[in-house]
Amino acid sequence: MNHLLTIDPALIDWSRAQFALTAIYHWLFVPLTLGLAVVMGIMETIYYRTGKPFWRELSQFWQRLFGVNFAMGVATGIILEFEFGTNWSNYSWFVGDIFGAPLAIEGIVAFFMESTFVAVMFFGWDKVSRGFHLASTWLTGIGATISAWWILVANSWMQYPVGCEFNPDTVRNEMTSFMEVALSPMAVDKFFHTVTSTWIVGAVFVCAVSCWYLLRGREKELARQSIKVASLVGLVASLAAIHTGDGSAVMVAEKQPMKLAAMEALYDGGEGVGLTVVGALNPFAQPDYAQGGEMPLRIAVPYGLSILATHSTDGYVPGVNDLLNGYTRKDGTRELSAEEKMERGRNAIATLAEYRKVKAANANDSRLPQLAEQLKADMPYFGYGYIKDRAELVPYIPINFYAFRVMVGVGSLLLLFFIVIGFVAWRKDITRSGRWLWITAVAMLPLVYIASEAGWIVAELGRQPWAIQDMLPTVAAVSDLKAGSVSLTFFIFLVLFTVLLIAEVSIMCRVIKNYKSAQE
């Protein structure tokens, strides 16, 4: 029984929704794992160097919270590992030769490290030497970070596929350079930007919990020392995130210009384009970008977008309409129009069909080399062959626009926050500062999570309609399933993960509330 006589749009939507749901939930827990790992590692290093029981107790407290969160990260992660196969089987086949390798390497190199040494971290305090325990704590964090590396290599490859070539005989893309994949500039940028952002989450969490204690007049020494460590981590991470974010923007401008145009709601591009700070873009409908113009009440930093995208005040930044209608770049090369790309894509797909038909009839047919060359020439537009209307090529602009602003806005606010709280913690006495600072710290906690998720929303929604940029749209990437099955598993995941999230938060709140240090 062939479910997919034609692809049901509902299947695409539910499949995307399910992946988004599971990824968003996973990303609630992973940043805290990575961020707290750094804070815990520093604290235990201080214990190792000083031998003071206070630092051991402090490390154990944050490790307790780490453990609660770690379990949820693991639970939500296993689904993602297999979801490429369950819900995106065509994608898995089409690019698995390249995409599968980072996931497998992640398991072998990173997961085993994390899962082995986390047991020592939790249970080995009185079983192993201080040095071995400290190494285990750091190796847990390093394992988690290496895991992030490989996942981000995989995700970066979706945004900027490199190191591969299409094989018409096997009807799939095949890896030609592992180094190009593993060390792609997109992957390097994304890794540092993402990981430093997780350190921000960990630092904010520590500050928030510590300041909650200060609001209650409790655990002052825990709070004092924890905020000192966390504020430093947060400040360094914020500066690094800003620097790497700039690098990411340049990459996006070069490799995914439509994503940048959507992030900025830039309909018509140009040179010396301003960076929108705020504007009244209707969040509930795709804007009528074909009409051009700009959104109402737009406030922009002059030349800001050109500087961000090209590091030049007069750099050219294409808008949505330029990318759809085609334009000539500064170097004289031509960006094809949407219709031209779609035609080249259809040609590629038709050529592939012809190639396979000819080869099946006669493996030595003289037409085969020419067909292979023709296919190779049109291959950069293969994915466009499945696109039926140019509107499909434009991501949903409002979500990208606002998510980007939330991420940058909150990120900037957090930099200021760490400067202030760090100054108070290191140069004055945080336990005697005004309540306003403690309340601010607690308020930063939900904001940092919102900003963290907003970043991924830009990354993934800005890439639409592509599962693999230019190569495979989501419409051609799904599994042959009934939309009803996917909607049912969507709701099962929603209920399951929400219940477990509530349980986790409840447990963490109890741990925090019931904690009583030996110092008190």
Which 191-230 positions form the footprint of another protein (CB under 8 A)?
Answer: none
Q: Which of 57, 174, 271, 335 binds another protein (CB under 8 A)?
A: 174
Q: Which of 7, 358, 419, 420 binds another protein (CB under 8 A)?
A: 7
Among 284, 286, 257, 288, smallest CA distance to 273 is for: 257
Distance of CA 103 to the CA centre of its chain: 15
Q: Is 310 near another protein (CB under 8 A)?
A: no
Positive or negative: CA dihedral 189, 190, 194, 195: negative
Q: Encoding tokens for residue 411?
A: 């990120």
Close Cβ partners of 484 (under 8 Å, ≥ 6 residues apart):
none
Yes or no: say if 229 and 39 are a contact pair by the CB < 8 Å rule.
yes
Name beta bridge partners: 276: 300
**CB closer to another protein out of 18 and 244:** 18
Q: Which stretch binds another protein (CB under 8 A): 166-174, 211-219, 243-251, 447-455?
A: 166-174
Q: Is 399 near another protein (CB under 8 A)?
A: no
**CB closer to another protein out of 282 and 506:** 506
> Is residue 424 classed as helix, strand or coil in its secondary structure?
helix
**CB closer to another protein out of 88 and 267:** 88
**Contact set for another protein, span 437-496 (CB under 8 A):** 476, 478-482, 485, 489, 492, 496
Q: DSSP H helical segments within 51-129, as ranges?
A: 53-87, 89-105, 112-123
Q: Which of 224, 346, 359, 376 binds another protein (CB under 8 A)?
A: 346
Q: Is 142 near another protein (CB under 8 A)?
A: no
The neighbour count for residue 332, using CB atoms within 10 Å, is: 6
Q: Which stretch binds another protein (CB under 8 A): 115-123, 278-286, 369-377, 404-412?
A: 115-123
Close Cβ partners of 468 (under 8 Å, ≥ 6 residues apart):
91, 94, 95, 157, 158, 161, 383, 477
Q: Is 10 near another protein (CB under 8 A)?
A: no
Q: Which of 332, 514, 516, 518 binds another protein (CB under 8 A)?
A: 514
Q: Is 380 near another protein (CB under 8 A)?
A: no
What is the distance between the alpha carbons of residues 310 and 308, in angstroms, rounded to a whole number? Answer: 6
Q: Which of 10, 53, 130, 167 binds another protein (CB under 8 A)?
A: 167
Q: Is 171 near another protein (CB under 8 A)?
A: yes
Q: Which of 160, 199, 316, 386 binds another protein (CB under 8 A)?
A: 386
**Contact set for another protein, span 42-101 (CB under 8 A):** 67-68, 70-72, 74-79, 81-82, 84-94, 96-101
Positive or negative: CA dihedral 460, 464, 470, 474: positive
**CB closer to another protein out of 18 and 225:** 18
**Contact set for another protein, span 224-283 (CB under 8 A):** none
What is the distance between the alpha carbons of residues 336 and 343, in angstroms, rounded to a whole number? Answer: 10
Q: How far is the CB of 465 from another protein (least distance, A)?
A: 14
**Contact set for another protein, span 349-378 (CB under 8 A):** 349-350, 352-353, 356
Total binding residues toward another protein, as defined by CB under 8 A? 97
Query: What Cα–Cα distance (Å) separates residue 367 from each residue in 166, 349, 357, 396, 454?
Result: 18, 17, 11, 43, 50
Yes or no: say if 263 and 400 are a contact pair by the CB < 8 Å rule.
yes
Yes or no: say if 204 and 444 are a contact pair by the CB < 8 Å rule.
yes
Q: How far is the CB of 206 from another protein (least distance, A)?
A: 20
Q: Is 120 near another protein (CB under 8 A)?
A: yes
